């Protein structure tokens, strides 16, 4: 059921969050205020998510990243001061994240995600994973499913980005507008035919696991029919995750030509395994996936943050279950995969 949170906001919190309370209601803000969020990976996309959920007024945000600040981070990661090159990325992002909202507890964790035991993840209501390998993502999602923790993941590769949500069984309240005949004692000719009436309804959505979403059989009847209309984003994501798994890194500008050739080869291999034509991911699209581009981080991070806030507040319908930003069309779209 849609939970009613009995924790009261302080006067300072009510003043701080006044505008968003007016937007999504006091109960939704209370649910946010009691939520603990783990953000894994604090590069460009992770920084956008950290900023937005901290400003929204959750209880706590933990920034987990064992990497160090590089010159590439200066281009897309606005939480890191320029004098922090070579320092741990999570710790370097801590002060600016905390300054966004002193009412939120912000901490940094420098332990590699793979070194954390399962029990570490139990402390959070929501986990958002970026810059993780395929196997790490599956592991964390399975932990979340076992403990009813909301799981999100996403990444930005150059101009391309994606997000995924596994909310398992998610209940939420949604405001709908109905048009009903107007009443009153006036003659029928003077009455308006209909008038809008807003009501709040409770709904439930069921989500599939990340493993199910990534192991779709594109030769099965429903997906074989869908294939012709599907654009390239899902398949590009699969190629990029495979590149990361094989190379232990993302495509890099300093090795552009070699990485581009490897991407083309991986594209051919991965799509052949799925019985999908290689032309589904054209060559020129593979040239747009190098480094993190700040505007793409802002777009994908804004969508990912919005979905986290909606899920925690149980306000409005969530995206089910993937969002893609396609640089070829400069458009984002939501796609339900694996259900």
- Please report which confidence band the pLDDT of residue 4 belongs to, taking 50, 70 and 90 as the band edges: very low
pLDDT of 156 above 90: yes
The Cα–Cα gap between 73 and 145 comes to 32
Residue 197 or residue 130, greater confidence = 130
pLDDT tens for residues 51-75?
Answer: 999 999 999 999 999 999 999 898 8
What proportion of the chain, given as a percentage, has pLDDT over 70? Answer: 94
Indicate if the pLDDT at residue 251 is higher than 50.
yes
Confidence grade of residue 177 (pLDDT, cut at 50, 70, 90):
confident
Whether 80 has a pLDDT exceeding 50, the answer reads yes
In whole angstroms, what is the distance from residue 295 CA to residue 308 CA?
Answer: 20
Contact 291, 75 (CB under 8 A): yes
- The band of 20, judged by pLDDT with boundaries at 50, 70 and 90, is confident
Distance CA 85, CA 48 (A): 19
pLDDT band at residue 189, thresholds of 50, 70 and 90?
A: low
Which region among 62-66, 171-175, 320-324 has the lowest average model confidence (pLDDT)? Answer: 171-175
Kindly indicate whether the domain formed by 25-167+294-335 is annotated with CATH number 3.30.1380.10: no
Strand partners, 110: none
Domain ranges within the chain, ordered by starting residue: 25-167+294-335, 170-206, 210-287
End-to-end CA distance of the chain: 22
Average pLDDT of the chain is 92
More reliable by pLDDT, 81 or 16: 81
Residue 268 confidence (pLDDT) above 90 = yes
User: Measured between alpha carbons, how far is 272 from 275 in angstroms, rounded to an integer?
Assistant: 5
Q: Given a cut of 70, is residue 5 above it in pLDDT?
A: no
Q: What's the pLDDT score for residue 59?
A: 96
pLDDT at 184 over 80: no
* pLDDT at 111 exceeding the cut of 90: yes
CA distances in angstroms from 97 to 68, 87, 270, listed in the order given: 17, 16, 39
- Judge whether residue 265 has pLDDT over 70: yes
Contact 142, 118 (CB under 8 A): no
pLDDT at 220: 92
pTM: 0.91
DSSP 68: B
Q: Evaluate if residue 333 carries a pLDDT over 90.
A: yes
- State the average pLDDT over residues 257-269: 97
**pLDDT tens digits along 285-313:** 999 999 999 999 999 999 999 999 999 99
CA geometry: angle 70, 233, 308, nearest 5 deg? 65
Q: What is the CA radius of gyration of the chain?
A: 22
* CA nearest neighbour of 318 among 191, 168, 195: 168
Judged against a pLDDT cut of 50, whether residue 1 lies above it is answered with: no
Measured CA to CA in angstroms, residue 102 lies from 1, 5, 9, 157, 231 at distances of: 31, 22, 15, 32, 43
pLDDT at 9: 80
């Amino acid at each position: 059921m849609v939970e009613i949170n009995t924790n009261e906001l302080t006067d300072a919190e009510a003043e701080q969050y006044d505008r968003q309370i007016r937007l999504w209601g006091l109960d939704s803000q209370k649910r946010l205020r009691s939520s603990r969020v783990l953000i894994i990976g604090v590069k460009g996309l992770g920084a956008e998510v950290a900023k937005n959920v901290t400003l929204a007024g959750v209880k706590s945000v933990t920034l987990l990243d064992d990497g160090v600040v590089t010159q590439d981070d200066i281009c897309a990661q606005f939480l890191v001061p320029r004098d922090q090159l070579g320092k741990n990325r999570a710790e370097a992002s801590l002060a600016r994240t905390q300054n966004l909202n002193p009412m939120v507890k912000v901490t940094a964790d420098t332990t590699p995600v793979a070194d954390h035991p399962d029990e570490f993840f139990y402390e959070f209501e929501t986990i958002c994973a970026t810059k993780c390998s395929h196997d790490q993502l599956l592991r964390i999602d399975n932990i979340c499913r076992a403990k009813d923790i909301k799981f999100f993941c996403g990444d930005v590769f150059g101009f391309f980005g994606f997000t995924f949500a596994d909310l398992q069984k998610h209940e939420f309240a949604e405001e709908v507008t109905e048009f009903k005949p107007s009443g009153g004692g006036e003659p029928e000719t003077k009455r308006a035919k209909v008038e809008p009436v807003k009501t709040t309804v409770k709904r439930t959505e069921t989500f599939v696991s990340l493993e199910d979403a990534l192991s779709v059989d594109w030769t099965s009847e429903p997906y074989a029919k869908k294939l012709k209309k599907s654009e390239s984003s899902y398949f590009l994501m699969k190629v990029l995750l495979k590149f990361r798994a094989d190379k232990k890194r993302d495509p890099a500008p300093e090795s552009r030509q070699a990485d581009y050739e490897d991407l083309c080869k991986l594209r051919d291999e991965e799509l052949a395994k799925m019985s999908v034509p290689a032309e589904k991911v054209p060559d020129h699209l593979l040239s747009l996936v190098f480094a993190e581009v700040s505007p793409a981080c802002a777009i994908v991070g804004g969508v990912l943050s919005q979905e986290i806030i909606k899920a925690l507040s149980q306000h409005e319908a969530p995206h089910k279950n993937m969002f893609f930003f396609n640089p070829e069309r400069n458009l984002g779209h939501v796609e339900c995969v694996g259900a």
